[in-house]
Each structure stands twice: as structure tokens, then as C-alpha cells.
Amino acid sequence: MEEVKAAVGSLGLNLLVNNAGIMEKCSTQTFGVPLGNVEPEMFRNVLETNTIAPLMLIKALLPQLKVAAATGESRAIVVNISSIMASMGTSLNRHGIYAYRSSKTALNMVTKILAEDPSTKGLLFVAIHPGWVRTDMGSSEALLTPEDSVSQMLPVIVSINEKQNGVLLNYDGSVLPW
């Protein structure tokens, strides 16, 4: 955290993308852990990385984000990389991913609270699902390459406006249900 703050220094920060994330794993299924194997320590670890760390990073970098938002025509946007698996209004038949899905739902709520918090006035916050992407987490069966995902998210991020403050977006810019 301190290293990141030092690297940004007193310059403004226009874009913060909280991308790092983890999913609980086991040897018996491709994604997540079945109910019988869910343990408190594993759940806490996933929450720490996927929900608490992004919020703490945003808190630490708030001064630099505010500098950017106050400078001329520039804007300051925080993108929290979330997941469609966290959307309670989306029907997905994905069982046994208790910690990951819950942690990303909590990250979505963190995004919404930040967007409504008077102390972050002038900044924009969105949660974005990057699609099902061929990475270590997404597996080789995923539909999108990282390049496909990022090239579709970039124009969405660049065009984020006040109306989208605090929403959950798909990688193509469409709004996902909470």
C-alpha cells in the first residue's frame, strides 16, 4: 500500500483499476470449493483480497484521486473488477463458490457506497465484470482472451459518466443487475 502511494506521489491519479483477485480452490471441481470443504480461514482470505484490499487501496489513494478530479478537464475513475457470479439478479448455475461470489457481491456494495459517499464527491466508481476470460482463474475453456476483454472494457471505462456512478457493468458496457 505504502509503495503504491509513494509511486503515485502527490500527482493526480485519473484511473485506479482494482484487478487483483482470488477464488477458493480444491482438487475435486474446476471452480470453487464444495460446501463440505468451506473453512473460515479460506473465506476470510478471499474477502481480504477481493473486498477489503480494494477498499483500503481506494482509501489510501483518495487524496491523489481528488487531485486528478479537481485538475482542469480531467476526471478520476475507480474501476473495481467484479464478476457476473456476484450478480444476485443473474441466473447462473454455479455451485460451491461461496467465498468468491460473496466477496465480489460485497465489492459491488462497496462500489455503490463509495459512489454515494459525500466524502468522495467528484470521483466516479464502477464495478465491471470482465467477461469469462482465459486466465489462470478463468481456465483455458473461457470464451475471451485477455486482449478481447480489455479492448472491450477500455472504451467503456473511458466513457464512464455520472449516470453510471455506482453501477455494475458488463465488459461491453451494458448494465448488470445487482
Ligand X SMILES: NC(=O)c1ccc[n+]([C@@H]2O[C@H](COP(=O)([O-])OP(=O)(O)OC[C@H]3O[C@@H](n4cnc5c(N)ncnc54)[C@H](OP(=O)(O)O)[C@@H]3O)[C@@H](O)[C@H]2O)c1
> Which is nearer to ligand X, 1 or 70 (by Cβ)?
1
**DSSP letter (8 states) at residue 132:** S
Exactly one of 32, 96, 130, 166 binds ligand X (CB under 6 A); that residue is 130
CB 14 within 8 A of CB 74: yes
> Which is nearer to ligand X, 74 or 139 (by Cβ)?
139
CB 60 within 8 A of CB 141: no
Task: List binders of ligand X among 23-52 (CB under 6 A).
Answer: 49
State the cell numbers at 21.
Answer: 483477485
> Which is nearer to ligand X, 58 or 69 (by Cβ)?
58
Residue 54 three-state SS: helix
- 171 belongs to the binding site for ligand X (CB under 6 A): no
Q: Please state the length of the chain.
A: 178
Interface residues toward ligand X, by CB under 6 A: 19-22, 49, 81, 83, 129-130, 132-133, 135-138, 142
